[in-house]
Amino acid sequence: MKTKPVKTKSTAPLNLILVFSLMAFLGGISHPQAAEPSPPGGAAEGDKDLWVRYPGKSGPGHSKQVVLISGDEEYRSEETLTQLGKILALHHGFECTVLFAIEPRTGIINPNYQANIPGLAALRTADLMVIATRFRNLPDDQMREIDDYLKLGGPVLGLRTATHAFRIPVERRQWLHYDYRYNGPANWVHRDPKYDGDQKAWTGGFGGTVLGDTWFYHHGYHNHQSTRGLIPPGVRGSPLTRGLSDGGIWGPTDVYAVRLPLPGDSMPVVLGQTMDRKGPYLENDAFLGMRPTDDVVAGIGHNPTADRGQDRYHPNDPTPPVAWTKSYQLPNGPKGKVFATTMGSSTDLASAGTRRMLVNAVYWCVGLENQIPAGGTKVDLVGDYSPSAYRFYSDDDWKKKALKPSAFREMN
């Protein structure tokens, strides 16, 4: 698979001096050359402007094909996955294709348009699917590409909202089991008996069945408490955690709650310590006033819709996992490998530790974990990276931005 590097554009007001100071603190920047795009397998040449591709340079990932699927309304996965794709291609040799939520009439990126992610035919030759979607309701042909990949036991790396990747109308019975509410847990605010079904191997839709859990709730105080990664003692000697350390993984997104214990052979790799913001809330700051240097461990969480029935609780008792490994197996199919994390906003990727966690995870997913260097993988930022604050945008906002995949191709 051939690809094309990307220049990440900010889609929210930013204090650029502050952002770039933080980026210097969290990780470096490099500037490679751009490449011409080509269509994924099965796609028409005329459709090539609907995705971006990054050709792999030299490295352990040479000839391995990674398909990165964006499409969430809040956490700017179109920024996260283009930067991750560039890092994988240019520092590690992976062939990367990044897909987007595209409004068909205009060809612009609009994550609010939940029914179209062109280019999913690239999964037919993929060695890894990286997914960061939220509430997608894709047409039959696009759902079939994902379904076929999973039935073959292909490796999956799921980020943030992938726990609730799909929201399928009840009349679409063929794909209903992918919905995040399908055979959902009892005593859950999202439980809907219309989504109880006879496919008993599927619980909690794609998130619950493949990744290990469906959507639960914001465990940390959304917009006000950040996530500090801790490495559990049991995995400190694992290739997955090479180059990772307590506090090295950080993100301004709050910790997501997960149901404990995680199912089956799940193994926590990173725990998410909820941290209080020391300074004021800054609406126009990409990190909303939170900083990786914030050192106050939160003693009170706040979520009025928490499924545990409490508005106030201790978010670090226990400290929940924010990244784990597991296996999955669809009926009559082979087992596949999963690395799931509830981190993954574009601002989370400002942290070199967060980037290294994801790149190490890619190596593990495709069976290259023994080639992870002792000090961890190289994760220098590629090109100008000014991540946008996470928030929802209206259709009018996306129309004004007129952002197309081509905006992510150039590096300078």
Mean pLDDT along residues 280-288: 94
Instruction: Give the per-residue pLDDT at 310.
Output: 65
Instruction: Identify the three-state secondary structure at position 106.
Output: coil
Give me the amino acid identity at 350.
A
Residues 6+ apart with CB under 8 A from 271: 229, 230, 231, 232, 319, 320, 321, 322
Give me the amino acid identity at 138.
L
Instruction: Give the per-residue pLDDT at 47.
Output: 65
Q: Which has more confidence, 352 or 45?
A: 352
Instruction: Give the per-residue pLDDT at 60.
Output: 97
Q: Which residue has the tokens 């990744």?
A: 211
Q: Which residue has the tokens 């994924």?
A: 40
* Backbone angles phi and psi of 272, in degrees to 5: -110, 105
Q: How confident is the model at residue 189 (pLDDT cuts 50, 70, 90)?
A: confident
Q: How far is CA 47 from CA 43, 51, 214, 405, 409, in A?
A: 7, 8, 33, 11, 15
CA torsion sign for 172, 177, 181, 185 is positive
Query: Which superfamily does CATH assign the domain made up of 16-408 to?
Result: Class I glutamine amidotransferase (GATase) domain (3.40.50.880)
User: How far apart (Å, rounded) are the C-alpha atoms in residues 18 and 333?
Assistant: 49
Residues 6+ apart with CB under 8 A from 387: 8, 10, 19, 76, 79, 80, 286, 345, 346, 347, 349, 350
Residue pair 278/296 in contact by the 8 Å Cβ criterion: yes
| Complete DSSP assignment for 41-81 | TT--GGGGGGEEEE---SSTTTT-EEEEE---SSS-HHHHH
Residues 6+ apart with CB under 8 A from 260: 318, 320
Q: Which has more confidence, 80 or 222?
A: 80
Least confident span in 67-71, 240-244, 356-360, 406-410? 406-410
* CA-wise closest residue to 20 among 30, 28, 12: 28
* CA-wise closest residue to 361 among 352, 372, 375, 374: 372
* CA-wise closest residue to 75 among 221, 339, 228, 251: 251
Q: How far is CA 403 from CA 5, 60, 110, 185, in A?
A: 16, 33, 8, 38
Beta-bridge partners for 323: 270, 341
Q: Return the beta strands (E) in 247-320 as ranges.
A: 250-251, 267-276, 296-297, 301-302, 312-313
User: How far apart (Å, rounded) are the C-alpha atoms in residues 358 and 133?
Assistant: 16
Residues 23-36 have pLDDT tens digits of 544 554 343 433 43
User: What is the value of pTM for the model shown?
Assistant: 0.89
Residues 139-172 have pLDDT tens digits of 999 999 999 999 999 999 999 999 999 999 999 9
How many Cβ atoms from other residues are within 10 Å of residue 32's Cβ? 16
Considering the chain, what percentage of its residues have pLDDT values greater than 70?
Answer: 86
Give me the amino acid identity at 86.
K
Token readout for 198 is 């006879």
Judged against a pLDDT cut of 90, whether residue 127 lies above it is answered with yes
